Chain A
Amino acid sequence: MYAVRTWLIGGLFMLALFTSPADSSAKTTPDTLELDVLVNLYDKVKFNHAKHIMLVKDCADCHHHTAGTLAQNPNCVRCHKNSGATASVACRSCHIAQPFSAAALREKSRTAYHNDIPGLKGAYHQACSGCHQKMGGPTGCEDCHKRNKKGDAFFSAGAYAPPQSHGEKKHGGH
């Protein structure tokens, strides 16, 4: 009897151990995310993760093979058919913020595959605006992130617009 109880406890413990990663990942799936790669020029983006989960359904559409769902892209399947979920599914764990730094370029030259991973900013815009175009989501710059004062100065727009901007256009030619 005692032995059976120990076995049961042990079994439950093992079960808990196996199920825990899935449970914890479900718990840590954020409902909203603040994206701040362009915070110098634009306000932060409040990304409604929960809403996008409902809309897209397949995690792989954004997270590729990292979420553990089988990637549909035949090119990815060649290697990632059984590769399972990765330790981190965050965009920034693969898409680095500075993709053209000297260190990043050295790394790129060395690897034979995955040497064309876009940087974080590029990945966001390509994935988001690409899908938004297909699904009829917002695609204008300021639909997602409002330009701040620094951004206005950078684009010579808003309060920093050139005085003649509504008059005769004088661009082009030389």
Chain B
Amino acid sequence: MKRRDFLKGCMACGAAATLGVSQKAWGIGSFEGYPEGMGVLVDLTRCVGCRSCEAACNKEQQLPAPDAPFDDKSVFEEKRRPTEKAYTVVNRYETGKEGGPVFRKVQCNHCNEPACLTSCFVNAYTKTKEGAVIYNSKVCVGCRNCMIACPFNVPGYSYSSALNPVVKKCIFCYDTRLKYGKPPACVEICPQQVLTFGHRNDLLKIGRDRIREKPERYVDHIYGEKEVGGTSWLYLAGVDFDKVGFDTTMGNEPIISNVKDFLGIVPMVLTIWPALFTGFHLLATKNKNHEDGHSEQEDSKP
């Protein structure tokens, strides 16, 4: 859909659209993900930073050729984030811990209650029953609300497209793999099995078992189990999560909870308030008609 077409449609729809969005907001309570939803457990203690996952993602999603080869380690000199050309990137963190640097793969975490989905006013996003957060680029108007809403700073934007820029991000290989019960390309290529694919519930158990069996190896926390309402991608680490680029200040409430109350008020304001306050006004002025007329007459006297 072209931006101009959309804006026309938007003008026509007006307040009706606002009502629709806010009703969606009321509908979602505390959704903890589909019971059969899949996920990936990322074990940071195993990653050696080979960047195979980046190469696999590039081929699977048919992304443009990279700026540097995928075996080029100089990319670690800066902290990267996913872009329209790379839905996943690996960053390196010098933590000073014995055993060398820690590598962290970044991609969409596929939230149980995605903020991108909440923020999207054309409903381009879908949380599938398999756990993937996918989007319909034909509907996307390129407003970039989701980029602002995402607590993990994940969605990229096709700035290179002058005519029809849209948002681009990891879709859990939904179209080509997840839909058919296969693991995403990055999981399959990973030589160290840093990435474990499975049912999210099973992965939580596996994660807890790993922590219990090797308490000296892991920090006692599974990142993504509860953060912002839980994510399909979960993380284990040997160092504090905030030292390797994770935001640990977000809390466990889904992002939608921050705006749910406000959005719930919107239809009330639009529908009830006009009638209510017109009523108040009429009641308040009912018996004043005569006096008003009188005072006017008095005012008109010289």
Contact = CB atoms under 8 A, between A and B. Distances in A.
Contacts of A156: 55, 58, 65-66, 69-70
Given A156-B70, A162-B67, A75 B213 contact: yes
A162 B65 contact: yes
B206 A171 contact: no
Given A102-B181, A126-B193, A174-B159, A115 B202 contact: yes
24 contacts: A38-B191, A75-B213, A100-B187, A100-B188, A105-B199, A108-B198, A109-B199, A118-B193, A122-B190, A122-B192, A125-B192, A125-B193, A141-B191, A155-B52, A157-B71, A162-B65, A162-B69, A164-B67, A169-B68, A169-B75, A170-B67, A172-B81, A174-B83, A174-B84
Main secondary structure of the interface of B (DSSP, over half): loop
B233 interface: no
Interface string B40-53: 00000010101010
A165 B83 contact: no
Nearest to B156: A174
A173 B59 CA distance: 21
A: contact size bracket:
35 or more
B191 A108 contact: no
Contacts of A161: 69
A119 interface: yes
Nearest to A102: B181
Contact of B70 (A38, A119, A157): A157
A166 to B, nearest CB: 9
Contacts of B70: 154-157
A99 interface: yes
